[in-house]
Every structure is written in C-alpha cells, then in structure tokens.
Amino acid sequence: MSNFSEVICRPTKWFIWRAVLMLVMFGGFGAYFLYDWRIGYPQKNYVVANYTAFNKAGEAWTVDANRATPDVWNAFVEKQTIIFDEDRSIYPSDTDFEEKWPEILKQMANHESDDRWADYSGEKGWPQKVNLEDDPKTAEQIRQQLYAACVCFLLTAIALFFLMRTRGRFMKVDEEGYYPPGGSLIPFPTMKTLDMRRWETKGLATLVYEVDGKENKAKIDGMVYGQFKEEDGAPAEALFQKVLENFEGEVIELVDENENEEVDEGGLKVDDEGASGEGNSDDSVGKE
C-alpha cells in the first residue's frame, strides 16, 4: 500500500512457484520424449537385435552337437550377421547393418547364451533383461515420442508466456477506481454489477462496468495477485474491501436460504418475525 487510498496487489509467490513447476514438468517430459525419439528407442532396438543374435547362437549350439568342436563353431560364428528389421529407420543412424555376431559368441563352450549375454551387456552398459514382447519399437511408436515431445514443449511455451505476462502485471485500486491486471482504470461510477459469489471460496470476483454505452467485464483475482495472508496484511482482501466501499451498483452474492429462518420448539421453521409455518399470530392470541 503506497498510501491510504491506494492498494496494489502483485503476483503472488504461490502463482510464480506453480508456473515454474509447470515449466519444469512440461519441459522435463518434453526432453524425455525427445530423447526416446532420437536416441532411446532406436538404441533399444539395436540392443534387441543383438540379444536376438545371442538367442540364435544358443539355439544353434544346442541343436548341432558337432559344433562343440571349437574350430567348427568359430567358423560358423564368423559367417553369421546380426539380423535387423527391414525398416532401417528404427535403428541408430550409425548402425552397421552388415555387423557380424560379437566375438564373445565364439566362447560358447561350457557356457549358456544367457551367461554370454550377461557378460556382453555388462561391458556395453545395456540391460541384462530384454522383453521381446514389447520390443523392438516400431517406427510409429518412435514417431509418437516426437509428437509427445512437441506437445510438451508447446505447453512449456504457453506456461512460460503466462508466467512472463503475469509477472509484469498487478491489480490496483485508488480513489478513482479499479485497475485490473493488464488493464486501464475502471472508474467507480461506471461499475454496474459486482459478482462476488466465488470470492469467499476462490478469491475471484467479476466486475461489470459500462464504457461508451457498452458493458465490459473485469476480474478481481485475489489468488494470483495479492493473496490473503494475514502476516502480509491480506492485500487482496484490502483491495476488495476498498472496491466495495466505493461501489454503488448491484452486488451479487451467495444467499443462504436458511440464514433468516429459526426452528421453534415443535420443529417448525419460523421467520424473523416469529410467524410459524402454520397459522398466523392473530389466530394464536388469546387461545389457552
């Protein structure tokens, strides 16, 4: 409050922190989806192709006992290449599609293919468990990650826009009238209606005012601007009360239907004048 007749409400920390949280959340998800589109899913498909080669090596070793001879087995492994999907777009851009089986598969003697995979994946930093039911990822699934990233970055841009716009705004009231966030003066005499039905619950009220014969609306948003903390002097409430003090139009507020009713000893509702729901006061006078 710069002086007695003026109250200024600036964006609250509550709003700023929520906006920053949304920025971090949408931005984080966008980066996550973008990574999966460009690196994560293609790399996962490459790992699946290698894992499949280890499975095929295990099957080949089990089926043909003659391959127990190291020379025969090594010659067999030398001729094998990793089988990739026909759609080459689902793999990393630097993939060698003529890549041979890893050298470690020449050491199958006295080892299961799973043991060899555990060693090999550990060296590469790959997961030891591969779910062949969910993988590899299709080209459409990879594109979906890009679409999701675009949506998240769009939401990030929107959140950033509102954050920057709101930070530079405020609402104010002085002896002339009310200044809505980002708006110009609304003189008190032009105010026609004040809807305060959501003020107590959401800190939000709506002003209807007239300019050049046309009705316009403006918000009084106490949750975003000012807030109601007693230790800060409840700026939003102070501003609202200043508007009420100078307002001469129609006020719309919630009405409790039971507010002006009482209950007599017999359980009947009685209005403020004491008349019960049955009969009237004249009928009851003089009766014993």
139-167 vs 13-35: helix axis angle to the nearest 10?
Answer: 160
What are the residues whose beta carbons fall under 8 Å from the beta carbon of 26, sequence distance 6 or more? 152, 153, 155, 156, 159
Given a cut of 90, is residue 178 above it in pLDDT? Answer: yes
- pLDDT tens for each residue of 154-163: 999 999 999 9
| 19 shares its domain with 123 | yes
C-alpha distance across the termini of the chain, in Å: 65
Question: What pLDDT, on a 0 to 100 scale, did the predictor assign at position 98?
Answer: 95
| Residue 34 resides in a domain | yes
Closest CA to 190 of 225, 221, 218: 218
| Residue 161 resides in a domain | no
| Residue 130 resides in a domain | yes
| Residue 268 resides in a domain | no
Tally of CB atoms within 10 A around 26:
20
What are the residues whose beta carbons fall under 8 Å from the beta carbon of 130, sequence distance 6 or more? 47, 48, 51
| 42 shares its domain with 138 | yes
| Helix (H) or strand (E) run with residue 216 in it | strand 214-221
Q: What is the pLDDT of the chain when averaged over all its residues?
A: 85
- pLDDT tens for each residue of 53-82: 998 988 887 776 556 677 888 888 999 999
Question: What pLDDT, on a 0 to 100 scale, did the predictor assign at position 256?
Answer: 57
Residue 87 pLDDT grade (very low, low, confident, very high; cuts 50, 70, 90): very high
| 134 shares its domain with 61 | yes
113-124 vs 41-63: helix axis angle to the nearest 10?
Answer: 150
| Residue 164 resides in a domain | no
Contact present, 173 and 242 (Cβ < 8 Å): yes
Residue 233 pLDDT grade (very low, low, confident, very high; cuts 50, 70, 90): confident
Angstrom distance (rounded) from CA 34 to CA 116: 33
Given a cut of 50, is residue 1 above it in pLDDT? Answer: no
Question: What pLDDT, on a 0 to 100 scale, did the predictor assign at position 109?
Answer: 58
How many domains does one find in the chain? 2
| 88 shares its domain with 178 | no
Angstrom distance (rounded) from CA 88 to CA 230: 64
Residue listed under structure tokens 């009310």 = 178
Domain housing 237: 171-252
Residue 222 pLDDT grade (very low, low, confident, very high; cuts 50, 70, 90): very high
Residues 47, 48, 49, 53, CA torsion sign: positive
| 209 shares its domain with 94 | no
| Residue 23 resides in a domain | yes
The residues pairing with 216 across neighbouring beta strands, listed in sequence order, are: 209
| 83 shares its domain with 25 | yes
| Final residue before a domain boundary, out of 105, 125, 143 | 143
- pLDDT tens for each residue of 263-278: 444 444 444 444 444 4
| Residue 184 resides in a domain | yes
Given a cut of 50, is residue 287 above it in pLDDT? Answer: no
| Residue 3 resides in a domain | no
